[in-house]
């Protein structure tokens, strides 16, 4: 493994940026993309669009910058903080975890309280949990600068695991890994050459309804779209083994709750993967939607494909991916986009 690449992946996932508060992520990506892109733009939702090339069909392949988190909902008289979900967060991934409350002027450490000891083994409703910041009154909390509407983000805890250290654990793989892949693909295309206009970057507020993808899709005026995201692996203890495993290659998603991928585009990507001997997995996501759902309705209809890096324990602070899946995702997308010339794009778009 490349130590510099691991450092990059740690850096990009450690950044704190929930839905609606992607400023730090956008600043980071803007700096990185500026070193390779011909043009950098942002839209009114805060989505970032980086463009490479001036001629040929427009191909969009982007991740989303936001991660799931919370927002301060209420400050109790005895100094605890009740919170609201900012994107879907599994209650199993919240209990007794470390978080940071981002105020206007500081970052306040917090832990999610389990509450009174419970022996019935039932998980509490997430609306009944609180953040503990070591205060005994609402006045003490307010003196820390905490107010209703402040964002609450899990702390980063990057780890490499396994015999070959290729299992990577941290918060926010969903979906900084898609943004990382988009950046690396653009760097490859800049170095190797391509015959189209490639658009990379990251959308905002995916976790609360794919809102930034609406404006990013329209701003891009792309003809083909790829949503680079994470998928759900099946190789978890106690789950039926239905085929998607970490370390077996990127996941080409045929359908999720909000998108049916374009069949001709899927077949084209599979053909490229086979020709280049790049491993891949084909899947149907039973639940969940992605930016692909909004990309496909932009510009009077855009053929799309959802390309996932498989993950375990998504929407928790301890999500896990495999390094090889990320590398193969970058390689596959690079080779696919290099081959999407005008003739190929027109064939995919024509019904």
pLDDT (tens digit, 9 = 90+) per residue, 241-296? Answer: 568 899 999 999 999 888 999 999 999 999 999 999 999 999 988 777 898 999 99
Confidence check: pLDDT of 33 > 60: yes
Question: Burial letters for 300-313: b for 16+ Cβ neighbours within 10 Å, e otherwise?
Answer: eebbbbbbbbbbbb
Confidence check: pLDDT of 129 > 70: yes
284 vs 150, more confident: 150
pLDDT of residue 116: 60
Neighbours of 46 (CB within 10 A): 22
pLDDT of residue 22: 97
pLDDT of residue 288: 79
* Mean pLDDT on 102-120: 82
Confidence check: pLDDT of 53 > 90: yes
pLDDT of residue 239: 60
Confidence check: pLDDT of 323 > 80: yes
**Percent of the chain, pLDDT > 70?**
95
Task: Report how far residue 132's alpha carbon sits from residue 152's, in angstroms, rounded to the nearest whole number.
Answer: 12
What values do phi and psi take at 214, rounded to 5? Answer: -60, -50
> Residue 1's closest CA among 135, 123, 144, 161?
161
The pLDDT tens digits of the residues spanning 213-227 come to 999 999 999 999 999
pLDDT of residue 117: 57
* Mean pLDDT on 114-136: 78
Confidence check: pLDDT of 349 > 60: yes
The angle at the Cα of 194, spanning 190 to 200, to the nearest 5 degrees, equals 60
The token pair at 206 is 């995916």
Long-range own/partner contacts, residues 242-245 (CB < 8 A, 24 or more apart): 243/281, 243/283, 244/281, 244/283, 244/310, 245/281, 245/310
Give the chain's mean pLDDT. 93
> Residue 130's closest CA among 89, 69, 79, 171?
79
Helix orientation angle between 3-14 and 23-34, rounded to the nearest 10 degrees: 150
**Percent of the chain, pLDDT > 90?**
84
Q: Where are the alpha helices (DSSP H) in the chain?
A: 3-14, 23-34, 138-143, 173-192, 211-220, 263-275, 292-295, 323-339, 342-349
Confidence check: pLDDT of 238 > 80: no
State the burial class of residue 350 (Cβ atoms within 10 Å of its Cβ: 0-12, 13-18, 19+): exposed
Place of tokens 């900012």: 86
* Mean pLDDT on 67-90: 94
231 vs 241, more confident: 231
Alpha carbon distances (Å) from 334 to 87, 133, 195, 248: 30, 46, 12, 18
pLDDT of residue 232: 87
Which residue segments constitute the domains of the chain, with CATH numbers given?
A: 3-67+171-349 (3.40.630.10), 69-154 (2.40.30.40)
Active site includes 206? yes
**106-120, 191-205, 280-294, 328-342: which has the minimum mean pLDDT?**
106-120
Neighbours of 319 (CB within 10 A): 22
Q: Is 170 helix (H, G, I), strand (E, B) or coil?
A: strand
The token pair at 185 is 């693909």
Q: Report whether 307 contacts 228 (CB < 8 A).
A: yes
pLDDT of residue 126: 82
Q: Report whether 263 contacts 303 (CB < 8 A).
A: no
pLDDT of residue 104: 93
Q: Which of 22, 67, 187, 206 is catalytic?
A: 206
Question: Burial letters for 264-295: b for 16+ Cβ neighbours within 10 Å, e otherwise?
Answer: bbbebbeebbeeeebebbebebeeebbbbbbb
């Amino acid at each position: 493994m490349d130590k510099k690449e691991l450092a990059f992946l740690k850096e990009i996932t450690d950044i704190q940026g929930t839905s609606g508060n992607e400023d730090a992520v956008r600043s980071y990506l803007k700096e990185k993309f500026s070193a390779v892109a011909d043009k950098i733009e942002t839209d009114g939702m805060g989505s970032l669009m980086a463009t490479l090339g001036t001629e040929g069909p427009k191909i969009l392949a982007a991740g989303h910058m936001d991660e799931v988190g919370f927002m301060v909902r209420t400050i109790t008289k005895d100094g605890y903080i009740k919170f609201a979900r900012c994107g879907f967060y599994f209650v199993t991934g919240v209990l007794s975890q470390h978080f940071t409350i981002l105020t206007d002027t500081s970052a306040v450490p917090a832990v999610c309280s389990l509450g009174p000891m419970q022996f019935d083994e039932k998980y509490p409703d997430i609306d009944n949990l609180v953040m503990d910041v070591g205060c005994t009154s609402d006045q003490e909390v307010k003196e820390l600068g905490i107010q209703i509407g402040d964002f609450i983000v899990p702390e980063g805890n990057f780890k490499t695991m396994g015999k070959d250290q290729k299992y990577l654990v941290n918060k926010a793989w969903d979906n900084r890994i898609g943004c990382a892949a988009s950046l690396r693909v653009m760097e490859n295309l800049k170095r190797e050459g391509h015959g189209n206009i490639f658009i990379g970057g990251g959308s905002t507020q995916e976790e609360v309804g794919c809102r930034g993808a609406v404006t990013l899709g329209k701003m891009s005026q792309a003809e083909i779209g790829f949503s680079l995201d994470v998928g759900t692996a099946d190789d978890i203890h106690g789950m039926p083994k239905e085929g998607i495993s970490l370390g077996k290659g990127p996941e080409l998603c045929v359908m999720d709750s909000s998108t049916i991928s374009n069949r001709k585009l899927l077949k084209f990507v599979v053909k490229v993967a086979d020709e280049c001997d790049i491993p891949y997995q084909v899947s149907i996501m039973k639940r969940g939607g992605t930016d692909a759902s909004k990309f496909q309705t932009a510009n009077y209809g855009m053929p799309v494909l959802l390309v996932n890096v498989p993950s375990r324990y998504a929407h928790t602070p301890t999500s896990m991916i495999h390094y090889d899946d990320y590398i193969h995702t970058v390689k596959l997308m690079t080779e696919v986009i290099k081959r999407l010339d005008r003739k190929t794009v027109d064939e995919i778009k024509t019904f």
